[in-house]
Structure 1
């Protein structure tokens, strides 16, 4: 294959990647963290947002609610702005790799980055990680290519401060930038000048971070202590010798992205070879420094797929060193290369957001904008959500407190609907004991009160109400409003007799009830006539997992030619003590 043909092929692949990512902006399923980040914008507008760290990004998206009522459409619009940041990230990858290798090396680095399945799916998501990747990579480009210019080094410091204001995870990239700067400067400029420039860059980063957070805090009526937030974050996310998340997702990452790791391995070998040549030693050290982010799992526990969009841009630059081998690829090898990318793209296209948009349309049609509601994922971001955000982090904090919260919350907040979009709320698949047995499940008391206080409305939406059995003599109504007897029996509430279809205004409080046949009392809201979408609201991070509460409970692991079931810590499922409970409660239809 001639040198010109790989050049054209690489250009075509990069353009194909860009086109595919453009399609995924509009099609790919909205993740729960994207809804959460969108909800922070609305909470800030309502004066309810209390955290000033990790929330400065909201000022980039104040225009989003003007475009549509539906939160899915709003997230898609926000992704378009994120795509601008992703373009900057890609250009910085290309420019840095081109400087270290050649023009085609820049292209292969960009293609390798976007071919990674996790980046393909989450690289344009409404997340702080995807936003912060851009300033970090531009800072890296300045450090690699403009190391002799003090203004460029100060600019790199300012960009690192900007990235840290977007997400505190940017601090994980400080060692890499420092090592690259020292390798580039050492022996070329005086040591005192190196120290001065490094200190000035650190000061610039600190000032930029404090300035952005300070200006951001001025838009709050009041906020919680950022030190308390850092303390909670440290306890929840920093490593405590628990590598189960990393092990689970890294296994699938390697399996689905062999191209990236083959090129990376070849690039590392070539960088090591350069260490033996004095003239190329410096570039070899710079290339190896780009691998420092791969050690982040040693200190950071939450290595979920979305984090790789922030972790891998510097690492992708190192794949450019595999270019010489790429130029010797045969037609068959190139076909395999493209086949893996198409495979990952097909998996990404499998998840669409149409069902989520329809659910939100029904919510907006059925309930007033000032309504409060419950769910597990902050999905109706423009409404006032109450209760837990049921991520692993949120549920860990909740279980650490060890007390039920939802009875008091229902009495205080009077929510008008419950959206079942987290596994802890799957009332038809779990019982209270099974949910409480799981470390990230609701306490049995909370699960029971939510199950008993809401009745099915449409699809995953439930409304306040009670299923009244003949054995019951009293109920508690938490949400005041007009209630209807859905039947089939006649229902007596205090002194009122409601035939099937009859309605009555009820205040919050306790009522005596009587019925000869089981009857359903529900808030009088008319559901849509069309059928609700089937399947889960969120499909999770993996291609074919059993998922629960934002993380893998059980995954299929390819071991040679044999399928082995893995538990939540990577151990074989047959050794997992909760296997029997899991099999009895999880719906195997979630396998997809």
Structure 2
């Protein structure tokens, strides 16, 4: 479609009453997004985020930094239903946080443009594909974005009296408790602070108020951290220092961005917003706008550059990064409105979100419920298991979070944590919820991912049970004799034909308690297996088919 054609279509909308269209578009997008709260599969980070809440509720949390959400969401552990249902409840809170973010975007943009343009800025943010899909995720990002954008709205729009300074301090201090990546918003805050100071004709009184607001934020962070960490089981000053050091060394990267392909997808999923962003730099060169405003707008647009050097820019990051960027579009939208009707622009933005919603794919959240239900019926809470992402939040995870960064740390340390966990106590369950675990469980070839000792410990110790669940056990063909190194002690149930264990025969349905070490197994006349657990038999539940994650 050519520019002339777009212009002709746009003119058909010129006679519409446009006062409510941007707001109506936002309501439509929010309604579509709210449906995803209940249907989109829980992501691995969301399971991890909720698992920390469970650990706090059980007195097992070991650090105070970046865990304030565990106090805010401890009530989730009291809700009925599965962990999936509780995460969905947490998503509803995050959805409310996103609404606060959207309102704050409009408030910030209103400083640079009229009300209708400010509402279009908010709609532009909502219409971005990754915001639609992840703006409600049960992660740090929606909560941090709401706190930070609210603080920016206060900085640029309030009277900066005592109450404003106090609320600003609370919002920024708590945002630091949520995530240390609030540092990526510093250019936006600096630009708005400069604007506010210049609006006051560079008065010393306004400079003092701004300085007090920043000091209040640091004070709130310090006090909140001390109060929160005092209730943590183990003091974490060394852990906090180590986390900051590790995060600092890994937060930024030079060269080709590791998630460049996601940045490309982010643009493709938000073409209208991307075009508005591209127009902003040109508007900043116009001398008709005061220098102080141009500096503030440059600070707001600056976070769009963070995918070039910030490491962890997975899709959910864009819900955190884009609010100040969308507010900066207050200067590019008027340029577009000179050519196209406001109703047409609102329609294009809304249509982008509707399209992304329509191609989001099948809902897999019920499959995740089935997995958790099966695990919960088989094992008591607290059972140790291996998986990628803390998918069983009430269980005890025996390995680390298998993110690319987590696996890099694991290999660099060279500590066989899987073998150590199995030596420390029984690990009767593995959840095969990542291709890395598939390569470990379903192949005998070196993975190049896990340490050799861990490969040797896990392989040969588990058999596939159902869906992604693997149980500690052994399978033998008829007449097969095998010596194995048993690494998961405990009760085992015989299924199938009779089997001898160290020369003693056991029949189908019998339970035997095995200790750690070498054992000799023989299947006599039929195929046989040993499954970890008392009275453990094969489930008659239909096999789980297809994927149970929704990819990025």
Q: Contact 1:64/1:77 (CA < 8 Å) preserved in 2?
A: yes
1:92 aligned counterpart, secondary structure: helix
Separation of aligned partners in 2, 1:429 and 1:372: 17
Instruction: Classify 1:253/1:430 alpha carbon distance in 2 versus 1 (closer, same or farther; 3 Å).
Output: farther
2:468 corresponding residue in structure 1: 460
**Cα displacement (A) at 1:193:** 3.7
1:544 corresponding residue in structure 2: none
Relative contact order, higher structure (CA 8 A, sep 6+): 2
Q: 2:383 aligns with which of 357, 371, 379?
A: 371
Instruction: Classify 1:395/1:3 alpha carbon distance in 2 versus 1 (closer, same or farther; 3 Å).
Output: farther
Q: Contact 1:71/1:381 (CA < 8 Å) preserved in 2?
A: yes
Separation of aligned partners in 2, 1:332 and 1:41: 45
**Cα displacement (A) at 1:391:** 1.0
1:552 corresponding residue in structure 2: none
Instruction: Classify 1:435/1:242 alpha carbon distance in 2 versus 1 (closer, same or farther; 3 Å).
Output: farther
2:135 corresponding residue in structure 1: 123
1:546 corresponding residue in structure 2: none
Task: Point out where structure 2 has 5 or more consecutive residues left out of the alignment.
Answer: 1-12
1:379 aligned counterpart, secondary structure: coil
Q: Contact 2:430/2:471 (CA < 8 Å) preserved in 1?
A: yes
Q: Contact 2:29/2:354 (CA < 8 Å) preserved in 1?
A: no
1:227 aligned to 2:241? yes
Task: Point out where structure 1 has 5 or more consecutive residues left out of the alignment.
Answer: 542-592
Q: 1:306 aligns with which of 307, 311, 316?
A: 316
Q: 2:547 aligns with which of 524, 536, 541?
A: 536
**Cα displacement (A) at 1:186:** 2.5
How many residues of Structure 1 are paired with residues of Structure 2 in the alignment?
532
1:258 aligned to 2:271? yes
Instruction: Classify 1:336/1:4 alpha carbon distance in 2 versus 1 (closer, same or farther; 3 Å).
Output: closer
1:475 corresponding residue in structure 2: 484
1:295 aligned to 2:308? no
Q: Contact 1:180/1:289 (CA < 8 Å) preserved in 2?
A: yes
Q: Contact 1:378/1:385 (CA < 8 Å) preserved in 2?
A: yes
1:408 corresponding residue in structure 2: 420
**Cα displacement (A) at 1:397:** 0.8
2:10 corresponding residue in structure 1: none
Offset from partner CA, 1:181-212 (integer Å, 9 cap, x none): 11231373445445433432232111111111
Q: 2:500 aligns with which of 482, 492, 505?
A: 492
**Cα displacement (A) at 1:13:** 0.9
Q: Contact 1:51/1:229 (CA < 8 Å) preserved in 2?
A: no
Greater mean alpha carbon deviation, residues 321-330 or residues 304-313: 321-330
Question: Where do 1:291-440 residues align within 5 Å?
Answer: 291-324=301-334, 325-326=336-337, 328-329=339-340, 337-348=349-360, 350-427=362-439, 431=443, 433=445, 435-436=447-448
Q: Give the TM-score normalised by the residue count of structure 1.
A: 0.83
Q: 1:277 aligns with which of 288, 300, 325?
A: 288
**Cα displacement (A) at 1:113:** 0.9
Question: Where do 1:111-190 residues align within 5 Å?
Answer: 111-146=123-158, 149=161, 151-153=163-165, 155-186=167-198, 188-190=200-202
2:86 aligned counterpart, secondary structure: helix
Instruction: Classify 1:389/1:256 alpha carbon distance in 2 versus 1 (closer, same or farther; 3 Å).
Output: same
Separation of aligned partners in 1, 2:344 and 2:16: 18
Separation of aligned partners in 2, 1:373 and 1:28: 25
1:455 aligned counterpart, secondary structure: strand
Separation of aligned partners in 1, 2:309 and 2:205: 32
Q: Give the TM-score normalised by the residue count of structure 2.
A: 0.89
Q: 1:511 aligns with which of 496, 515, 519?
A: 519
1:579 corresponding residue in structure 2: none
